[in-house]
Structure 1
Amino acid sequence: MNDDLQTLFSSVCDHRATEEELARLSRLLREDQEVQDLFLKYVDIHAAFADEALPVIESNIINYASKSSVAKSPGVAYPKWLLASAASISILLGLGALASYSFIANQSDNSSRDPYLQATPIATMLLSENCQWLEKSVREGQRLEAGRIALALGTAVLRFDGGAELVLIGPSEIDLQTPSRVQLNHGDVVVRATSGAEGFVVNTPISQVIDLGTEFAVKVSHSGATEVHVLDGEVSYRGTTTADELSKILRAGEGIAIDEDGRPRAVPMNSPRFLEFVNRINPQSRSDLLTAYEGFNYSPGILPLEKSTVGIGWTGPWRHPNPRQGSMSGNDLTSDNFDIVHGEINVAWPVPGGRLGMLKLPSTSTTYVREFEHPINLDSDNVTYFSLMTQINEPGDIAADESTTQHANAERMYLTFGSSDHLTKAHITFGYAGNFIPFIQLSGGSKFDSPVKVPQSQTSLWIGKIVSRRDGDNEVYLRVYNESDVLDFAEPTAWHVVSRKVRLGGKLDRIILHSQGRSSRIIDELRIGPTWRSVAPIASDTKQETEE
């Protein structure tokens, strides 16, 4: 270990580190595995000789306490649980929380935070219907960090990163704490924790409810009195204000009421199920929120590019890529015309207009560009979704000496959100190449592949999501749906490609569509909007069967 690193580690562990030193160590720990290992060893040695608890550097990345309950400090805050030993740090690393080494020197000065020193999202707002929020508003699709959410009116549905889903009914107030724990201060919630999300915890002012693989409701009055109703499976509960700390089990069909003094009594189970609340909302498609739409609704035949002016949210027609802005291929053979066809793909989803015009892309290298009116600002807190229908046609005859692998490697299609300034500026590409493996590629070269393949000779639906944050990391998602897949009222639990903890900046204000290969493709229904429901072709009536 060099003297510079030893001095830095010593300053941190001896409570002498400046804000600049804390920020420097944060970046080093993120970027250098060797520094991480050295720091762990140093902390272990320091702990063995220390006469008092080692400092633990506070980070809002892993501090899941309510922001309102975090004490303000004029200086550097050192909670006493993170760096108590190297083992505790290893646990955090095992949880994928390497970013928890991002240090915050002054909780009260948000403007001075290093861009790396930000909280990690732990949940997603899936649905917000007729909601009136207190303190801060929450949008559909928004990624949520630890902190308080207060709902005055309406119904909202959240999904925690641990897998549990929660219906919040106003008026209610909750504190998001971790991907598997929430504090219900008052109001009503219904939790559905399917397989893999067991162990979700709902804390109340006087009790703790732990899911054992089930669906349950919790109601808390302003006095703290709590009711628990088990709709399916089992839950464990215990009071936190009485001497009796033993957990008890509630089973499906049972209910318990715990008064403000912690005294329990049995009550009849009385709560609607999770899906009943969703069905009451009956979430509808919100195509009225689209910021850009291209349905290729033209008469069949050859259409000059300068006449490709339909749709909404665009600043002009489709065009060739400008050479100074870069091209997706060095031997581009883009035509001056669109080949518009009708009825040549199977539209398996309820897409208004999706059975009219559609664009047939030739089996050559082709690139088209179109600018949209409302840029995606990657330097602000924003959520943008897109969807696109596409079909890969069967290729024509392949010469006997051409292998299937060679043919597959020639096939590719990209949809890029880019900057009109230059292609080498910020851009996000969704596409497939090689053996029809979907991927996300970001400016800077980062590439993320899917474990599934794009289906051939049938229609697939791409849905992507871009989450930008003013002071934190970007997140980018892609899911490819087959004709047999059914779209739900909200975004999926599992995306095929996920890109997290990346930093992108600038504005994306154009679409680049690139196709290349031996087989032709047909695309249709390009949608860009702020919510899942604005781009996903969900049925007009989304009611689902309520479980018996």
Structure 2
Amino acid sequence: MSHDFEELWTRYLEGELDEAGFAALQNFLASDSDLLVRAGDLYEEHRLLGFALQPFDDEQFVQDAVSIVENDGQQFIGNVISELSREPKAFARGAESKATQSDPAANAVRPFQKRNWQQSFLAVAVAASILFGALAWFLADRANEPGGRGSIAESINGVPVPVRYIATVLLEDNCNWGSSNSPAEGQRLSSRTLDLKSGLAVIRFDGGAELVMSGEASLRLRSAGSAELLLGDVVVRAEQGAEGFVLTTPTSEVIDLGTEFAVKVNRVGDTEVHVLDGEVSYRPIDAANELAKILQAGEGIAIDRSGLPRAVPMDSPRFQEFIRRVNPRSRSDLLTAYEGFNYSPGILPLEQSTVGIGWKGPWRKRMPSERIQPDTDSSPDHFEIVHGQMNVSWPVPGGRLGALKLSGGGVYYVRPLKKAIELDREGVTFLSLMLRETKRPSNQREHKERLRLTLRSSDDYYGEVISFGHGPRYRPTVQTGAGVWQSSPQTLPAEQTTLWIGKIVSHKEGDDEVYFRVYGEEDVLEYAEPSTWHVVTREVDLKAYLDLVLLSSEGTTDRIVDELRIGPTWRSVAPILEKQQ
């Protein structure tokens, strides 16, 4: 799929496509029916991200979805295929009619007629994706329960169902886990039991709730919006948008109503609930739903194995108090690669660009075999190093000890890594880069302004890649695979220093995940990765061995870059502000 098609389709979804754009989009789809499938994928990526991250905690909904897919799956998918095979012909007829149509008024109406069939097609494709997503969760949620079928279901109508990841490890401090398969910061988690012997860990569920577990604790992750505490102390913070989180214990069920609460379970299963802010609903585990009670902020309740509740004094630290005690610090010592462009101001030959850590050699220009896309290259044989030309509000010396100025034109520099990013195994990699845009052209449509940080393979330069950057419309964009682009609807702040942070989660089996977020000068970086990213990929399965870093700048604008970091955790690449004790 060409980049032109992706841009036209994105503009269509955002309601910004004019008549000429509609005609171009129509021609694309009429010439290649496979683009219809890709169009549906892009629609899902742009419009259903919020839905995809929500927990399917309505058991009846899940059961209905399973029933439809298992009993009527072939017929349902047949309807989708029928819709896809029929519409290209209709689209071709529309293109032919338009070519012979001389009435401008009739031409102006046609895009709105076309929107009707697109909505019809997308409704079928989106419905299919929702149902299969619900089924995948249903099976993954039960994978680690007694009698479960393992991390990957055998198949549904011959199609394997991968693990459903439901949470992320935000912070790990001096943790001693009771399993050899211990989680690490940034790692994605499926339904499983976490046995913590000592230390502190913070988990963020995909439904939005955050949970801190400390000391000896055992927690079973059930879904993106629920968990079971078997032993120990936890504090749950479920702010606006994350209400409804369910925490069960051996004696009770606690449902968050938009609050912060603590739960303690002792070795015999007795439970205490303390409401730190807002309110929660609670009931003994065997009681009917209508017998649930409400606890307000400052109240506490204890429920023993007999199910009898009694009031207890509220006694638990707040969520933020746990974080303050740990005082998360930068972990730049974990960096696997770093380039700070720490040279004296002036001209630096490329062969002398040898500082930094984690590199196999200096920066270089692209080789002839690498000059295919694009084939023009005006990269000089040297770096232009500048000092003091970045406004940096984060606690790093960005720009002050040296920065690289990329002049207008097509500039491409490559540097090999000592430690490659291997996408065919389980792993987490974070990247960051500082950028200052000197001037933004007033007419963006006439200027192809692009900046990208791309990971490539020396064995297959134009094979699988992962690229973070922006295109002509200054929107955060991720490229994965061969020519597959996913963009955010947000526009980067103009003519200021920004901090780019990317995250790559590779899985040996199942889809990989790529995240991208851009911070402006006024944005504050927290101790852990954000709950929302500008771009989050879906359905990406890569196996590449990425051992090259490509820094590319295209257009008329001069740009200044600095502080390129690659590491295994958020704290290794993000310049977080450490709190004073």
Report TM bin, short chain: 0.7 to 0.9
Contact persistence 2:154–2:160 (CA under 8 A): no
1:34 to 48, 59, 81: 81
Residue 232, structure 1, aligned to residue 232, structure 2: no
After the TM superposition, which residues 36-51 of structure 1 pair with which residues of structure 2 at under 5 Å, given as runs?
none
Matched AA of 1:436? Y
Contact persistence 2:389–2:399 (CA under 8 A): no
What is the rounded CA distance, in whole Å, between the counterparts of 2:293 and 2:432 in structure 1? 47
Contact persistence 1:238–1:245 (CA under 8 A): no
Residue 405, structure 1, aligned to residue 444, structure 2: yes
1:286 to 316, 331, 335: 331
What is the rounded CA distance, in whole Å, between the counterparts of 1:359 and 1:522 in structure 2? 6
Contact persistence 1:239–1:245 (CA under 8 A): no
Q: 1:124 aligns to what? A: 168
After the TM superposition, which residues 362-381 of structure 1 pair with which residues of structure 2 at under 5 Å, given as runs?
362-381=407-426
Greater helix share, 1 or 2? 2
Q: 2:497 aligns to what? A: 459
**Cα RMSD between the aligned structures?**
2.9
Q: How many residue pairs get matched?
A: 463
Residue 340, structure 1, aligned to residue 385, structure 2: yes
Q: 1:6 aligns to what? A: none
Contact persistence 2:362–2:415 (CA under 8 A): yes
Matched AA of 1:479? R
Contact persistence 1:66–1:175 (CA under 8 A): no
1:104 to 154, 160, 164: 154
Residue 222, structure 1, aligned to residue 274, structure 2: no
After the TM superposition, which residues 71-220 of structure 1 pair with which residues of structure 2 at under 5 Å, given as runs?
71=147, 103-104=153-154, 116-135=160-179, 136-220=181-265
Shift of 1:454: 1.9
Partner deviation per Cα, 1:355-412 (whole Å, 9 max, x = no partner): 21000000111000001111111010000000000011126xx8xxxx71344x3211
Q: 1:519 aligns to what? A: 557
Matched AA of 1:290? L
Shift of 1:70: 3.0
Structure 2 residue matching 1:324: 3-state secondary structure: helix
Structure 2 residue matching 1:447: 3-state secondary structure: strand
Matched AA of 2:578? S
Shift in alpha-carbon separation, 1:363–1:536, aligned structure 2, 3 A: same
Structure 1 residue matching 2:268: 3-state secondary structure: coil
Q: 1:296 aligns to what? A: 341
Matched AA of 2:453? L
Shift of 1:435: 1.9
Shift in alpha-carbon separation, 1:243–1:489, aligned structure 2, 3 A: closer
Contact persistence 1:115–1:472 (CA under 8 A): no
Q: 2:10 aligns to what? A: none
Shift of 1:228: 0.1
What is the rounded CA distance, in whole Å, between the counterparts of 1:30 and 1:505 in structure 2? 29
Contact persistence 1:383–1:530 (CA under 8 A): yes
Partner deviation per Cα, 1:24-63 (whole Å, 9 max, x = no partner): x9999899933899xxxxxxxxxxxxxxxxxx9x977433
Structure 2 residue matching 1:186: 3-state secondary structure: strand
Q: 2:145 aligns to what? A: 69
What is the rounded CA distance, in whole Å, between the counterparts of 1:483 and 1:280 in structure 2? 28
Shift in alpha-carbon separation, 1:368–1:380, aligned structure 2, 3 A: same
After the TM superposition, which residues 357-506 of structure 1 pair with which residues of structure 2 at under 5 Å, given as runs?
357-394=402-439, 404-407=443-446, 409-506=447-544
What is the rounded CA distance, in whole Å, between the counterparts of 1:209 and 1:36 in structure 2? 45
Matched AA of 2:526? D
Structure 1 residue matching 2:138: 3-state secondary structure: coil
Structure 2 residue matching 1:311: 3-state secondary structure: coil
Partner deviation per Cα, 1:494-522 (whole Å, 9 max, x = no partner): 10111122111121111011101111000
What is the rounded CA distance, in whole Å, between the counterparts of 2:420 and 2:159 in structure 1? 22
Length-normalised TM-score, structure 1: 0.79
1:259 to 284, 300, 304: 304
Contact persistence 2:475–2:490 (CA under 8 A): yes
Shift of 1:444: 2.5
What is the rounded CA distance, in whole Å, between the counterparts of 1:183 and 1:29 in structure 2? 36
Contact persistence 2:142–2:148 (CA under 8 A): no
What is the rounded CA distance, in whole Å, between the counterparts of 2:195 and 2:83 in structure 1? 39
Runs of 5+ consecutive residues of structure 1 not aligned to the other structure: 1-21, 38-55, 78-99, 107-113, 544-548
What is the rounded CA distance, in whole Å, between the counterparts of 2:457 and 2:209 in structure 1? 37
Shift in alpha-carbon separation, 1:72–1:226, aligned structure 2, 3 A: closer
What is the rounded CA distance, in whole Å, between the counterparts of 1:27 and 1:412 in structure 2? 44
What is the rounded CA distance, in whole Å, between the counterparts of 2:338 and 2:240 in structure 1? 38
Matched AA of 2:577? A
Shift of 1:472: 1.4
Matched AA of 1:526? L
Shift in alpha-carbon separation, 1:29–1:179, aligned structure 2, 3 A: farther
